């Protein structure tokens, strides 16, 4: 353990995990309201698309950080992981819907963009990979699949998030740091996971 | 010698009404977002026909020397000192030298030009510029035989421009035009918007405006003008030649490798307005197409 944060565990246990859903839904609706009423600036379509996309990426990374966080600090947020993951998916879905409906607008253009634009293709691949994860984020699916198969399936979360991070690098103009930072954090988390797997195998 | 071009873009022409009306089929389904869509449309129709507001024009800018977010320039550009301002004029000119801005443009006619402005990122505005035809300035400094291009440079002041710390581009920002493009009566050096001095985030004290080209060609806060024989360095073109051509004429038929250029989002139209079609040469085809006669516009994009 690097720093001990385990004292926060007891009070956190009193927070219901459903709070994550409530806050996420409220946050998404609030951003939509702001965009519709001028609160996100003069070009709200792009602004809303970006806000949802960024929140989705941040939350996906947060989900992947929960296990290492417990290893290194003793802080256990495992109870919140499912709600955080499903909410992250909700933001991805909102991001996709804003893009498809409010931005691009026609079926032809949506299909053309997904096929022709590599960064959209990558985002789409990330989104599609997340669908089975969202659908199996419940006790019933966990029982049906069994813990081992379920865990293997959910390791796709790393790949989906990596796709999303590269999608972000690819879409900005010129060399910008923000997407590289997210990618670096993600690769760090991934390396921790691979290391712990190796040490378990040894 | 101004008034070579008559401003034909009235408020009603900002977007052809018919093009606006049929530009968009709203997809059925996905009810949650659609529900509110009906609310927004009426508002967008009214806004579509007028130039963008002062607030829109000055709060949504690409000026990477002040940061890469659209709101960064307004937030950070206040630090730029624009007076005194000098412009170095060199290369193949009769009267090279370092000119005080007033000296370079004093006495030349300032006109209002309401132009469409189309960014390579597929958003657009309509902006009422005040400016001087670049041709008048070039005539004043005397273009020499053998000059084929005009190169421009943005001022580079790390103390006043926080974005210069990041290697987003090879600073200073540079752009260029072919001489005939530079001499075209549509090409202006803008010093104002809505009759007021141009704000720093829009390129004070003087910037280029070439309305038929993507916005990044219209270089801001110019501190150097050079007449050259050969095609000059152009920042985005050099950073990524596949994505940003030297010409960068607005062309709905030639897509950017990463996104479509067929349509554009009109800034200020709201969350539910969707996209409008992009016009060939940004609507200035009649005026400028002849400059590119015989050129393959998919090769010289
Ligand atoms: C795993 C899922 C995804 C994540 C985490 C994600 C994340 C992001 C992020 C972080 C941004 C940049 C936001 C900013 O600049 O602040 C972005 C932009 C964007 N994403 Fe995604 N994305 C995902 C999936 C998709 C999908 C499925 C599509 C469409 C099919 C898509 C289309 C776009 C577009 C068009 C942009 C903005 C491009 C522009 O600036 O014009 N994304 N996304």
Tell me the residue range of the domain where B91 lies. 11-292
User: Please, which pLDDT band fits residue A106 given cuts at 50, 70 and 90?
Assistant: confident
Alpha helices in chain A (DSSP H): 9-13, 18-36, 44-73, 78-97, 107-116, 118-135, 139-145, 147-154, 156-171, 177-201
Q: Give the list of residues 6+ apart from residue A71 with CB closer than 8 angstroms, or none.
A: A1, A196
Tokens of B40: 């927004």
Q: Is B299 contained in some domain?
A: no
Q: Return d(Cα B113, Cα B109) in angstroms, integer.
A: 12
Bridge-based pairing of strands B86-91 and B222-228 is: parallel
Q: Is B149 contained in some domain?
A: yes
Q: Is B143 contained in some domain?
A: yes
Q: What is the pLDDT of residues B6-63, one digit of tens each?
A: 665 554 444 333 333 333 333 323 333 333 333 333 333 333 447 999 999 999 999 9
For B258, the closest of A35, A98, A117 (CB atoms) is A117
User: What's the gap in Å between the CA of B26 and the closest CA on chain A?
Assistant: 6
B81 C-alpha to center of ligand 1: Å?
37
Percent of chain B with pLDDT strictly greater than 90: 78
Query: Mean pLDDT across the stretch A113-138?
Result: 94
User: Please, which pLDDT band fits residue B2 given cuts at 50, 70 and 90?
Assistant: low
DSSP string, B218-236: S--SEEEEEEESSPPP-HH
pLDDT at B168 over 70: yes
A171 in reach of chain B (CB within 8 A): yes
Q: Is B6 contained in some domain?
A: no
Q: What is the pLDDT of residues A32-85, one digit of tens each?
A: 999 999 999 999 999 999 999 999 999 999 999 999 999 899 999 999 999 999
Tokens of A4: 């001990």
For chain B, the first-to-last Cα distance in angstroms comes to: 31
Tokens of B167: 């290697």
Quote the pLDDT of residue B259: 84
B280 class by beta-carbon count within 10 Å (0-12 exposed, 13-18 middle, 19+ buried): middle
Q: What is the pLDDT of residues A188-197, one digit of tens each?
A: 999 998 887 7
The DSSP code for B198 is P
Q: What is the pLDDT of residues B73-120, one digit of tens each?
A: 999 999 999 999 999 999 999 999 999 999 999 999 999 999 999 999
Nearest in space to B114 (alpha carbons), one of B59, B56, B50: B50
Query: Mean pLDDT across the stretch A122-148?
Result: 96
Asked if B27's CB is within 8 angstroms of A101's CB, the reply is yes
B124 C-alpha to center of ligand 1: Å?
21
B55 in reach of chain A (CB within 8 A): yes
Quote the pLDDT of residue A175: 75
Q: Is B242 contained in some domain?
A: yes
Torsion of Cα atoms, A172 then A175 then A178 then A182, to 10°: 90
The total domain count for chain B is 1
Q: Which residue reads 């010698």 in tokens?
A: B1
Q: Return d(Cα A49, Cα B294) in angstroms, integer.
A: 40
Quote the pLDDT of residue B258: 81
Q: Is B131 contained in some domain?
A: yes
- Best of A28, A30, A35, A43 to disrupt the B interface (most B CBs within 10 Å) is A43
Check which CATH number belongs to the domain holding B141 and give it.
3.90.420.10
Taking the CA atoms of A44, A50, A52 and A58 in sequence, report the sign of the dihedral they define: negative
Q: Is B2 contained in some domain?
A: no
> Which of the two residues, B38 and A134, has the higher pLDDT score?
A134
User: Under a CB-based contact definition with an 8 Å cutoff, are residues B128 and B173 in contact?
Assistant: no
Q: Work out the angle at residue B258's Cα, subtended by the Cα atoms of residues B252 and B259, and round it to the nearest 5 degrees.
A: 40
ipTM: 0.80
Asked if A102's CB is within 8 angstroms of B271's CB, the reply is yes
């Amino acid at each position: 353990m690097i720093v001990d944060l385990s004292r926060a565990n007891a009070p956190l246990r009193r927070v219901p995990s459903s709070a994550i859903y409530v806050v996420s839904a409220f946050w998404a609706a609030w951003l939509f309201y702001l965009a519709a009423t001028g609160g996100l600036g003069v070009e709200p379509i792009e602004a809303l698309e970006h806000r949802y996309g960024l929140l989705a990426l941040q939350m996906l990374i947060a989900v992947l950080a929960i296990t290492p966080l417990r290893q290194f600090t003793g802080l256990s947020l495992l109870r919140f992981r499912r709600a955080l993951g499903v909410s992250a998916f909700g933001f991805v879905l909102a991001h996709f819907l804003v893009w498809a409906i409010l931005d691009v607008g026609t079926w032809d253009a949506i299909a053309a963009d997904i096929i022709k634009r590599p960064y959209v293709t990558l985002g789409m691949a990330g989104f599609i990979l997340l669908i089975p994860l969202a659908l199996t984020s419940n006790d019933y699916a966990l029982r049906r699949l069994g813990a081992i198969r379920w865990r293997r399936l959910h390791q796709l979360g790393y790949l989906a998030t990596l796709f999303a991070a590269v999608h972000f690098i690819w879409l900005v103009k010129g060399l910008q740091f923000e997407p590289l930072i997210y990618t670096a954090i993600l690769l760090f988390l991934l390396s921790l996971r691979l290391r712990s797997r190796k040490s378990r195998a040894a | 010698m101004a008034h070579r071009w008559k401003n034909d873009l009235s408020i009603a022409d900002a977007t052809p009404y018919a093009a606006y009306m049929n530009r968009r089929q709203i997809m059925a389904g996905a009810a949650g977002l659609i529900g509110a869509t009906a609310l927004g449309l009426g508002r967008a129709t009214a806004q579509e026909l007028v130039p963008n507001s002062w607030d829109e024009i000055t709060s949504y800018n690409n000026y990477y020397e002040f940061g890469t977010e659209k709101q960064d320039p307004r937030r950070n550009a206040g630090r730029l000192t624009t007076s005194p301002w000098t412009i170095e004029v060199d290369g193949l000119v009769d009267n090279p030298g370092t000119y005080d801005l007033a000296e370079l443009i004093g006495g030349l006619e300032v006109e209002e030009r309401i132009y469409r402005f189309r960014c390579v990122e597929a958003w657009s505005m309509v902006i009422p510029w005040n400016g001087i035809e670049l041709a008048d300035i070039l005539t004043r400094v005397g273009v020499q035989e053998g000059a084929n291009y005009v190169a421009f440079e943005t001022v580079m002041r790390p103390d006043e421009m926080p974005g210069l710390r990041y290697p987003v581009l090879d600073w200073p920002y540079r752009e260029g035009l072919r001489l005939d493009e530079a001499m075209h009566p549509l090409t202006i050096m803008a010093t104002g918007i809505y009759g007021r001095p141009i704000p720093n985030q829009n390129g004070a004290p003087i910037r280029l405006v070439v309305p038929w080209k993507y916005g990044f060609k219209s270089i801001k806060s110019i501190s150097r003008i050079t007449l050259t024989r050969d095609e000059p360095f152009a920042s985005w073109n050099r950073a990524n030649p596949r994505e940003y051509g030297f010409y960068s004429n607005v062309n709905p038929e030639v897509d950017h490798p990463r996104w479509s250029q067929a349509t554009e989002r009109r800034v200020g139209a709201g969350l539910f307005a969707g996209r409008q079609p992009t016009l060939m040469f940004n609507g200035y085809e009649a005026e400028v197409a002849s400059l590119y006669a015989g050129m393959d516009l998919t090769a010289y994009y």
